[in-house]
């Protein structure tokens, strides 16, 4: 049985369409997978920030036990915690503005906690309590986890952003609405080492 020229052309067109659709769906699925990886990394970031926020009430309660402790420092920490926990970011909308708002709120809490730890240095009886030492160790561990999870998030966002900006991902990203994700950035002034004088 001999195929006519029309049938051969139709078979070739169908084969090309099947190949293009298969290739396009593969590119699309990779974008979806990388986008989901960014979402997962973001959830891990939020998880460790929530852990820090959960430790703060215990830390504040322990510090309040010192009768003459500076109340304004505790108030700053409590207000910074409230602000940090009120700012949430939808992982599907990780744009520069939402990331800056989230990061500013978390940086404010970090700053308030740093001031609290500096003030605590003046209270040796507080530093000597077992409860405070345990909370401080947990807080330090959480800060380390935050650093690690932020780094993992940035790596996932970089992988995703690179994929959607390269050919052929760029074509499909535009067609299906895949937008670049923002990164965590270092705090302003972090590039300058603090001056230590003795």
Write the pLDDT tens digit of every residue in 88-121: 888 887 888 999 999 999 999 999 999 888 888 8
* Domain carrying residue 165: 5-176
| Core vs surface per residue 35-53: b (16+ CB within 10 A) or e | bebbbebbebbbebbeebb
Q: What is the pTM of this model?
A: 0.81
What sign results for the dihedral spanned by CA atoms 37, 38, 42, 45? positive
Residues 123-148 pLDDT 10s:
887 777 888 889 889 999 999 999 99
Give the chain's end-to-end CA distance (angstroms, integer). Answer: 96
Q: Give the per-residue pLDDT at 25.
A: 92
Domain membership of residue 77 (yes or no) is: yes
pLDDT, position 120: 84
In this predicted structure, what is the pLDDT of residue 104?
A: 92
Determine the pLDDT at residue 195. Answer: 46
Residue 194 is assigned to a structural domain of this protein = no
- Dist CA 85 CA 54 (whole Å): 10
What's the CATH code of the domain at 69? 1.20.1440.20
The tokens describing 9, both together, are 């052309």
In a domain, 150, yes or no: yes
Q: What is the mean pLDDT of the chain?
A: 87
Three-class SS of residue 122?
Answer: coil
**192 lies in some domain:** no
Which parts of 65-95 fold into alpha helices (H)? 71-86
Asked whether residue 185 is assigned to any structural domain, the reply reads no
pLDDT at position 64:
80
Total domains present in the chain: 1
Q: Is residue 39 part of a domain?
A: yes
What Rg, from alpha-carbon coordinates, does the chain have? Answer: 26
Indicate whether 154 belongs to any domain.
Answer: yes
Q: Residue 16: phi, psi to the nearest 5?
A: -65, -45
Nearest Cα to Cα of residue 59 among 45, 74, 37, 44: 74
Distances (CA, A) of 137 to 48, 121, 130, 146, 194: 15, 15, 11, 14, 24
Whether the per-residue pLDDT at 193 is higher than 60: the answer is no
């Amino acid at each position: 049985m001999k195929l006519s020229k029309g049938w051969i052309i139709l078979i070739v067109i169908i084969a090309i369409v099947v190949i293009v659709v298969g290739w396009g769906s593969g590119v699309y699925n990779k974008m979806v997978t990388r986008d989901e990886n960014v979402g997962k990394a973001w959830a891990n970031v939020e998880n460790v920030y929530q852990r820090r926020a959960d430790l703060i009430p215990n830390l504040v309660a322990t510090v309040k036990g010192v009768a003459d402790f500076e109340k304004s420092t505790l108030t700053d920490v409590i207000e910074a915690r409230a602000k940090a926990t009120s700012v949430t970011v939808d992982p599907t909308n990780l744009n520069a503005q939402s990331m800056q708002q989230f990061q500013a709120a978390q940086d404010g809490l970090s700053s308030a906690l740093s001031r609290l730890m500096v003030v605590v240095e003046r209270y040796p009886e507080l530093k000597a309590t077992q409860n405070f030492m345990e909370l401080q160790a947990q807080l330090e561990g959480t800060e380390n986890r935050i650093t690690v999870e932020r780094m993992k998030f940035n790596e996932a966002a970089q992988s995703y952003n690179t994929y959607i900006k390269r050919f052929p991902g760029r074509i499909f990203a535009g067609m299906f609405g895949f937008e670049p994700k923002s990164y965590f950035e270092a705090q302003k002034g972090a590039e300058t080492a603090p001056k230590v004088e003795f």
